[in-house]
Amino acid sequence: MVLPSETEERVKRRALNACQDNLRKVVDVSRKIPQLVECFASGDKENARKLFSEIKAGEEEVVKARRMVSQELAEIGAILFAREDFLRFTNLSSEIADFSEGIAYYLVEIMEHNWVVPPEIKKDILKLSLAVLDSVLKLRETMLVLNYGSQKALERAQDVEIAERIVDAQYRALAIKILSSKLDIPVLMLMRDVLQLLENSADKAEDAADVARLLSFIM
């Protein structure tokens, strides 16, 4: 509940703290994807399953945190002019955790079916997953500097854009490599889905960074 004595500055900090907590959980989930890809590359099914369970649990934590942001913003009410932007940021960044769960699921299924994926493709997927994680980490940096002026936030948001372009270039090259490979049709389709979800994750990080730009002008 917002007390009459609470100023707009205070409620903005409340909203920002809630969004940052949600994003922290998203980052925790995102960090596990390159780890799982390493298990995928080495054929370590046991640890891949373990990481998948952790990612699913982490994604559920993100869902809970997103609800907390919505509840916080509902309590703050109309006193916060930009509450819709805070909510939009959280919804966009939370989708990254949803995509991560999908990536993990498909990779584990490929392993469970013992489908063959060439080592060079596995290596490229790991490289792509690390590039995606970099975009998410740069998004976190953008949110962490919102209290330090719009210029710093704009600089960090631009870093997210650069990271997303790197992901896009790697994604396109790997998509062509996979399509021209000798993969069986089922694994080919799942690998395409994995690639798309990885790229979608970086796209959502960039979209969330655009919203962070808007928030930087009112913080």
How far is residue 126's CA from residue 37's CA, in Å, rounded to a whole number?
6
Segment 141-159 shows an average pLDDT of: 90
**pLDDT value at position 80?**
65
pLDDT at 194: 98
What is the tens place of the pLDDT at every residue in 38-82?
A: 999 999 999 999 999 999 999 999 999 999 998 888 877 655 677
Higher confidence at residue 157 or residue 78? Answer: 157
pLDDT score recorded for residue 9:
76
How far apart, in whole angstroms, are the C-alpha atoms of residue 133 and residue 61?
Answer: 19
Q: Residue 6 — very low, low, confident or very high, per pLDDT cuts 50/70/90?
A: low
Give the Cα separation of 141 and 28 in Å (integer): 14
Which pLDDT band holds residue 4 (cuts at 50, 70, 90)? very low
How large is the average pLDDT for residues 190-218?
95
Question: Could you tell me the CA-to-CA distances from 164 to 62, 133, 138, 209 in Å, in that order?
Answer: 22, 10, 10, 11
pTM of the model: 0.93
pLDDT tens-place string over residues 159-170: 999 999 999 999
Per-residue confidence band for 12, with pLDDT thresholds at 50, 70 and 90 = confident
pLDDT digits (tens, 9 = 90+) for 170-194: 999 999 999 999 899 999 999 999 9
pLDDT for the residue 77: 67
CB distance 166 to 79 below 8 Å? no
Query: Which of 194, 183, 42, 26 shows the shortest CA–CA distance to 125?
Result: 194
- As a whole number, the mean pLDDT across the chain is 92
pLDDT the model gives residue 1: 47
Q: Is the dihedral of CA 45, 51, 53, 59 positive or negative?
A: negative
pLDDT at 5 over 50: no
Contacts of 132 (CB under 8 A, 6+ apart): 30, 33, 167, 198, 199, 201, 202, 205
